[in-house]
């Protein structure tokens, strides 16, 4: 069964000459369009400023002064945000000695003053695409609660029945209240505090959610299924929240079972999730329904997250996450190219998750196919949480230069954690992994069936201290995996350039 997902609505598209005289015209057009489709005045002005800065940058840096090039600007209305997209087929991002550093498109990251998220896609022969996302203003749950005089009244009944069902848009306000009761205003997913954004995500098909509801209609638990923007074979479960007063009723396990059943109905291979390590409870719940650890991502969550009524959570350090995968239906047997020095651990992860994988050796001519070509990759930067993700789509002969340049730029921007996703279906992942570790990346784990196969994730910490004593791990295998990750960090630190 395939799932139809609506990506968003394109409000306007402009093809323009790479001429700075067009910049004020385009920025004014983007502002007026955003306002016409419901963006508040403050947000539409922000879109104008963003369009002006981004267009000027592309004109000055994607094209030589005597190049009569063109580029495309479009504005999209998506659940949760308005997105400015700029596409060009100008100068590639390949860094050579005679090419100034500022040609690198990631120098656009200072635009985070206007954009909440910056994603860059190197499309090879198809050019480049920038996606600049701005969260739209909406009433937060804090504002809604302030208007609701009875919102803080306690109506908990220890004998009250709690049922588990799928969420509807009418449950959005109550769900935001549940998040607020569990985390205050510290939760990682900011959109959960905006009921209209939750409703939009449900309506668009980007999210389905299971909730736990009392007899009086109070939402006391929530678990979301998050889908990508394509025909997906896995989904991510996230926003796992239980009202502190209703913990101990195994509500998370009940919601997880319902989500697994829904995933099976959708024909998904499995469910991917991230569990915090400030406490072991969510890990234990994942283990209880058959999910298995596939990685440890250090310092993944920002230090602002507060877990109410869980003493161990009172920390001011970034929080580590455990990656889990729950197999729902049998997936195809896949060939994988494993780096020799990680092969034993990767195969242990596969064995524990009962996955059908066949390790094979890279061919002798693996490098020939990419010699002289450009790497296709995406970079997504989330300034609000201090992380960035570099996703390699296809290797080119410039891969080491591209990675070195982008990592340095992200470091200079103060990004706390940089993650590097590598396709295990490509033999060059096995051959180049140690080279990437020379830049300071080290093993994090696997993302199973993430994009037409498995992904090896490496991680880089930008001067972030890790205290292993505050990382709570729920299983023996999890502790073995954590020890391996911490050891690999030390090995890489000794050998990195």
288-297 confidence digits (pLDDT tens): 889 999 999 9
Paired residues of 460 in beta bridges: 418
Backbone angles phi, psi at 139, to 5 degrees: -65, 125
Alpha carbons 194 and 343: distance in angstroms, whole number: 44
The three-state secondary structure class of 124 is helix
Paired residues of 296 in beta bridges: 322
Mean pLDDT of the chain: 85
CA-CA-CA-CA torsion for 285, 264, 389, 192, nearest 10 degrees? -60
- Say whether pTM exceeds 0.85: no
- C-alpha angle 178-179-180 in degrees, rounded to nearest 5: 90
Confidence of residue 108 (pLDDT cuts 50, 70, 90): low
221-269 confidence digits (pLDDT tens): 999 999 876 667 899 999 999 998 898 888 989 999 999 999 999 999 9
Residue 493 burial class via C-beta count within 10 angstroms: exposed 0-12, middle 13-18, buried 19 and up: exposed
83-97 confidence digits (pLDDT tens): 999 999 988 754 443
Confidence of residue 189 (pLDDT cuts 50, 70, 90): confident
Interval 24-53 mean pLDDT:
90
Interval 195-217 mean pLDDT:
90
Lowest-pLDDT choice from 198-207, 228-237, 285-294, 323-332: 228-237
Q: Go through the domains of the chain in sequence order and give each one's CATH number.
A: 1-137 (3.30.565.10), 141-268 (3.40.630.30), 285-497 (no CATH)
Alpha carbons 367 and 362: distance in angstroms, whole number: 10
Interval 61-78 mean pLDDT:
86
Number of residues written out for the chain: 497
146-164 confidence digits (pLDDT tens): 766 555 445 566 678 999 9
112-126 confidence digits (pLDDT tens): 678 888 888 888 788
- How many of the other CB atoms lie within 10 Å of CB of 168? 11
pLDDT at residue 140, as a whole number: 74
pLDDT at residue 43, as a whole number: 87
H or E element: which one contains 335? strand 334-336
């Amino acid at each position: 069964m395939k799932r139809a997902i609506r990506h968003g609505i394109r409000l306007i598209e402009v093809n323009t000459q790479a001429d700075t005289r067009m910049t004020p015209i385009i920025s004014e057009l983007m502002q007026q369009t955003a306002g016409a489709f419901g963006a508040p005045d403050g947000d539409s002005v922000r879109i104008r400023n963003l369009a002006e800065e981004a267009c000027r940058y592309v004109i000055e840096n994607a094209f030589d002064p005597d190049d009569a090039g063109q580029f495309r600007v479009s504005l999209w209305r998506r659940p949760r945000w308005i997105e400015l997209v700029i596409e060009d087929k100008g100068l590639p991002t390949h860094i050579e000695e005679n090419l100034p550093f500022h040609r690198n498109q990631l120098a656009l990251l200072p635009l985070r003053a206007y954009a909440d998220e910056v994603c860059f896609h190197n499309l090879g022969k198809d050019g480049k695409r920038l996606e600049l996302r701005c969260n739209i203003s909406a009433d937060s749950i804090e504002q809604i609660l302030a208007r609701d005089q009875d919102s803080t009244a306690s109506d908990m009944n220890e004998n009250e029945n709690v049922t588990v069902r799928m969420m509807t848009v009418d449950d959005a306000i109550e769900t935001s209240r549940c998040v607020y009761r569990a985390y205050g205003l510290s939760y990682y997913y900011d959109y959960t505090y905006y009921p209209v954004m939750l409703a939009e995500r449900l309506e668009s098909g980007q999210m389905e959610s299971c909730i736990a509801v009392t007899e009086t209609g109070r939402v006391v638990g929530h678990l979301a299924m998050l889908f990508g923007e394509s025909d997906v074979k896995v989904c991510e479960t996230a926003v796992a929240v239980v009202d502190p007063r209703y913990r101990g009723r195994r509500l998370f396990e009940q919601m997880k079972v319902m989500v697994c059943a829904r995933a099976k109905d959708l024909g998904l291979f499995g469910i991917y999730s991230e569990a915090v390590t400030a406490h072991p409870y969510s890990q234990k719940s994942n283990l209880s329904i058959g999910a298995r650890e596939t990685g440890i991502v250090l310092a993944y969550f920002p230090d602002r997250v507060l877990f109410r009524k869980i003493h161990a959570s009172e920390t001011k350090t970034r929080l580590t996450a455990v990656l889990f995968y729950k197999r729902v239906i049998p997936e195809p047997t896949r060939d994988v190219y494993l780096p020799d020095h990680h092969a034993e651990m990767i195969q242990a992860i596969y064995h524990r998750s009962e996955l059908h994988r066949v390790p094979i050796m890279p061919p002798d001519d693996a490098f020939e196919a990419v010699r002289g070509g450009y790497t296709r990759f995406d970079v997504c930067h989330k300034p609000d949480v201090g992380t960035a993700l570099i996703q390699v789509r296809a290797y080119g002969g410039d891969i080491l230069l591209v990675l070195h340049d982008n990592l340095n730029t992200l470091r200079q921007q103060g990004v706390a954690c940089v993650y590097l996703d590598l396709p295990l279906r490509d033999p060059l992942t096995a051959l180049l992994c140690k080279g990437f570790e020379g830049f300071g990346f080290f093993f994090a784990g696997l993302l199973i069936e993430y994009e037409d196969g498995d992904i090896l994730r490496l991680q880089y910490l930008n001067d972030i201290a890790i205290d292993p004593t505050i990382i709570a791990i729920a299983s023996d295998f999890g502790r073995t995996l954590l020890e391996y990750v911490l050891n690999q960090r030390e090995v890489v630190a000794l050998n990195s350039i």
